[in-house]
């Protein structure tokens, strides 16, 4: 890996880390390419990308490089940073192992979303975490029709619906009562947001499924949000189609921590005394 792309969240911590990282990489004869995901002009030729930021920064990069197979090392400079699992003090030890080809790739399923108005495609995108359809600025519930593989599933009244990947199960859908799904599981989670009927519970369906959500309310105001990054208006009888994307995001797994360790430390899931090896 000779050409290293860097995406930086512009904050004080990131700038300080970058000032040390650039000479460290240069000493190892690495070519450094700075990348600004906000420009959305595609990714230059690089062998890997280091993301210095929070989960939002990683999500913006994921949309930008979807289908490129470029490996990403994500370094947490945000608050929770569940996706950006590598802390800054473990950056150089991880990079050393990566350059020695001693690392594991973590291929994450992504979601492909198409917003249709009649037969016209308003937007297509590939996201890592979730597609959220919700009432937006409306002060009332909206009505949606949900279909899976062409079969009618439900007419849902509520604040909205989250369609998430297994990776996204620890994001918005978790705070809305959805389950935690290990990211290696190929699945799609449908989680209603504040449903009018409390028995409308989250459901996990196969990743081979194709989901269609149709807005049945006439009011203006509902929106579609893609990975919390982009927001688009959603009108009556507009369709949102979601399926598993053809390509996966190529994350580099931390060599010094596990997924379950991140669950315990960052989400306090099952937190408690860690048993010794003998136990």
Active site residues per annotation: 55
Q: In the structure encoding, which two tokens stand for residue 177, read together?
A: 């009562």
> In whole angstroms, what is the distance from residue 166 CA to residue 174 CA?
11
> 85 near 74, Cβ under 8 Å?
yes
Rounded to 5 degrees, φ, ψ at 276 are -75, 170
Which residues neighbour 98 within 8 Å (Cβ) at sequence distance 6 or greater?
1, 48, 73, 252
CB 44 within 8 Å of CB 33: yes
Say if residue 134 is exposed, middle or buried (CB neighbours under 10 Å; 0-12, 13-18, 19+): buried
End-to-end CA distance of the chain: 41
Q: Is 55 exposed, middle or buried (0-12, 13-18, 19+ CB in 10 A)?
A: buried
């Amino acid at each position: 890996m000779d050409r290293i792309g860097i995406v930086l969240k512009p904050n004080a911590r990131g700038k300080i880390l970058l000032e040390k990282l650039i000479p460290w990489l240069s000493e190892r004869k690495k070519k450094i390419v700075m990348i600004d995901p906000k420009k959305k002009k595609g990714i230059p030729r690089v062998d890997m990308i280091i993301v210095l930021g929070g989960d939002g920064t990683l999500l913006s990069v994921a949309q930008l490089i979807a289908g490129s197979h470029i490996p990403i090392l994500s370094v947490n400079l945000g608050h929770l940073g569940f996706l950006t699992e590598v802390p800054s003090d473990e950056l150089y030890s991880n990079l050393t192992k990566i350059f020695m080809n001693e690392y594991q790739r973590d291929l994450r399923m992504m979601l492909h979303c198409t917003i249709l108005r009649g037969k016209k495609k308003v937007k297509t995108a590939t996201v890592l975490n979730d597609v959220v359809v919700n009432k937006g600025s409306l002060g009332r519930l909206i009505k949606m029709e949900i279909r899976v593989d062409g079969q009618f599933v439900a007419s849902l009244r509520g604040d909205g619906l989250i369609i998430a990947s297994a990776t996204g199960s620890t994001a918005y859908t978790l705070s809305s009562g959805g389950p935690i799904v290990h990211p290696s599981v190929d699945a799609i989670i449908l989680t209603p947001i504040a449903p009018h009927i409390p028995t409308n519970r989250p459901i996990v369906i196969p990743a081979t499924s194709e989901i269609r959500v149709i807005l049945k309310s006439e009011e203006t105001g509902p929106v579609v949000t893609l990975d919390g990054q982009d927001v688009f208006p959603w009108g009556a009888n507009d369709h949102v189609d979601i399926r598993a994307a053809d390509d996966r995001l190529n994350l580099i797994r931390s060599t010094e921590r596990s997924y379950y360790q991140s669950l315990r430390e960052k989400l306090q899931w099952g937190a408690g005394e860690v048993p010794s090896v003998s136990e």
